[in-house]
């Protein structure tokens, strides 16, 4: 997208504002499918948690994607937009047996990541197809907060628990139709991912009725100038060859599945904020904006770095600023970042704001969540309204203390 288009959208829809480029989402989806075009059966399940807006889900449905979900509510979002249940996989963590049974009744593919629930579900529903999430104990990403394949992770069933796992399956006679792993986000080394894949292939040999193998995702995207990213073309070439070899060894064609979120929507997203105040202290120049970690928590939560540009003054002299929010907490988006000269009223653009940004927003400090706009074929389409005060108080109930006291005295 061009900066003039972003400025025009802020003019029309005000700030703060999330904008998503449908063309970029489409090209990322096609890039991934092209990388694995030599696999006989490929399935991409978009990770709904990354960005769950209904219009975004509808776009993925048009692209032919399935959905990766982690809650009953995400499954319901997919069904509402028209996804068939067999296009949805449910991969929760730490949820109740009751929630898994509710999703199973809706017809989605169940993926279980702990022995306790696996045994209970298999005992009660042995004929319902189940995928099993394995923890390969491989850390493919560099950040411990977004790597979930390490030995202390709460996700997945350890490969060292295979004897127990196989005993549960034998005792319950349950139907296992898929094997799954997810090592975490920001895969830096393809060879590490391929090593984890070999562990999954070895695990798959224990199951005779598989229909698919799900390799998770976690492909890294560039967040700053010169940043590295996962070479999905190289991964596609190497994993395709090995997957096709395994299918021959296994004796039947299987589906290769991925569940990307960040890779598909991160670079398509822009977060636009207005500068409320430029504040000079003894050592720092602060640019205070009309947002905070209530709208974009990734820099504070994950130490994530989003490129920030002053699109109101793109040719201005560069200075060092600390960009901070209006929340009554330490909500620093960037410290001593080189940015074109900032004046009050300028619009700053945060790049790579499509994944885990709006979906992790909140109403902290009783602030409204921003609007969302989809940039589609040269036009900005409102896909989520800016919240109002009525939205904040809609589900709150005010206690009538006087009435309560009177009732207490009367009784």
- Please report, in angstroms and rounded to a whole number, the separation of the first and last CA atoms in the chain: 67
Q: Which pLDDT belongs to residue 139? A: 62
> What is the average pLDDT across 257-280?
97
pLDDT average, residue stretch 227-231: 88
Rounded Cα gap, residues 35 and 40, in angstroms: 13
The phi and psi torsions of 180 (rounded to 5 degrees) equal -140, 150
Full set of structural domains in the chain with CATH: 20-261 (3.20.20.10), 266-381 (2.40.37.10)
Q: C-alpha distances in angstroms, 171 versus 92, 180, 218, 365?
A: 24, 21, 34, 52
Q: What are the C-alpha distances in Å from 303 to residues 144, 184, 333, 334, 404?
A: 11, 16, 9, 10, 48
Q: Which residues of 188-206 are buried (b: 16+ CB within 10 A; e: fewer)?
A: eebebbeebbebbbebbee
What mean pLDDT comes out for the span 32-55?
98
Give the pLDDT of residue 8.
98
From 247, 328, 349, 357, active-site residue = 328
Q: 153-186, pLDDT tens digit by residue?
A: 788 999 999 999 999 999 999 999 999 998 765 6
Short-list 162, 155, 256, 156, CA closest to 214:
256
d(CA 100, CA 72): 8
Q: Work out the number of other CB atoms within 10 angstroms of the CB of residue 11.
A: 10
Please compute the mean of the pLDDT values over residues 103-117 and round it to a whole number: 97
Q: For position 119, what pLDDT does the model report?
A: 97
Closest CA relative to residue 122, chosen from 160, 84, 170: 170
pLDDT of 150 > 50? The answer is no
Active site residue 328: yes
Task: Judge whether residue 151 has pLDDT over 70.
Answer: no
Over the chain, what is the mean pLDDT? 93
Say what the pLDDT of residue 372 is. Answer: 98
Reported pTM? 0.93
User: Which segment of 177-191, 196-210, 366-380 scores lowest on mean pLDDT?
Assistant: 177-191
Residue 218 has pLDDT above 90, yes or no: no
pLDDT at 228: 85
Q: Given this model, what pLDDT does residue 190 score?
A: 86
């Amino acid at each position: 997208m061009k900066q003039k288009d972003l400025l025009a959208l802020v003019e029309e829809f005000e700030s703060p504002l999330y904008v998503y480029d449908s063309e970029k989402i489409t090209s990322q989806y096609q890039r991934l499918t092209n990388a694995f075009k030599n696999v006989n059966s490929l399935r991409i399940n978009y990770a709904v948690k990354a960005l769950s807006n209904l219009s975004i889900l509808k776009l993925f449905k048009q692209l032919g994607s399935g959905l990766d979900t982690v809650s009953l509510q995400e499954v319901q979002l997919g069904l509402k937009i028209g996804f068939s249940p067999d296009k949805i996989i449910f991969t929760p963590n730490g949820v109740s047996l009751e929630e898994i049974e509710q999703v199973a009744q809706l017809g989605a593919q169940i993926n279980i990541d702990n022995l306790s629930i696996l045994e209970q579900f298999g005992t009660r529903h042995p004929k319902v197809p189940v995928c099993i999430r394995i923890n390969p104990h491989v850390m493919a990403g560099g950040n411990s907060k977004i790597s979930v394949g390490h030995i202390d992770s709460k996700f997945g069933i350890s490969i060292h628990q295979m004897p127990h796992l196989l005993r549960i399956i034998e005792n319950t006679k349950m139907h296992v139709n898929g094997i799954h792993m997810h090592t975490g986000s920001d895969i830096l080394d393809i060879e590490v991912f391929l090593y984890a894949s070999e562990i999954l292939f070895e695990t798959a040999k224990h199951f005779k009725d598989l229909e698919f193998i799900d390799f998770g995702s976690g492909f890294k995207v560039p967040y700053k100038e010169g940043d590295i990213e996962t070479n999905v073309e190289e991964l596609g070439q190497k994993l395709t060859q090995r997957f096709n070899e395994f299918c021959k060894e296994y004796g039947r064609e299987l589906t290769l599945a991925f569940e990307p979120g960040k890779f598909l929507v991160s670079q398509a997203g822009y977060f636009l904020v207005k500068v409320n105040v430029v504040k000079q202290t003894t050592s720092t120049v602060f640019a205070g904006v009309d947002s905070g970690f209530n709208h974009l928590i990734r820099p504070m939560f994950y130490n994530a770095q989003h490129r920030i540009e002053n699109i109101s003054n793109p040719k201005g002299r560069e200075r060092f600023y600390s960009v901070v929010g209006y929340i009554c907490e330490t909500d620093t988006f960037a410290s001593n970042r080189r940015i074109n000269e900032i004046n009050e009223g300028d619009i700053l653009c945060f790049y790579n704001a499509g994944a885990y940004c709006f979906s992790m927003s909140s109403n902290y400090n009783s602030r409204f969540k921003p609007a969302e706009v989809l940039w589609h074929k040269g036009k900005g389409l409102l896909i989520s309204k800016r919240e109002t005060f009525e939205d904040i108080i809609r589900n709150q109930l005010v206690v009538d203390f006087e009435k309560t006291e009177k009732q207490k005295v009367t009784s």
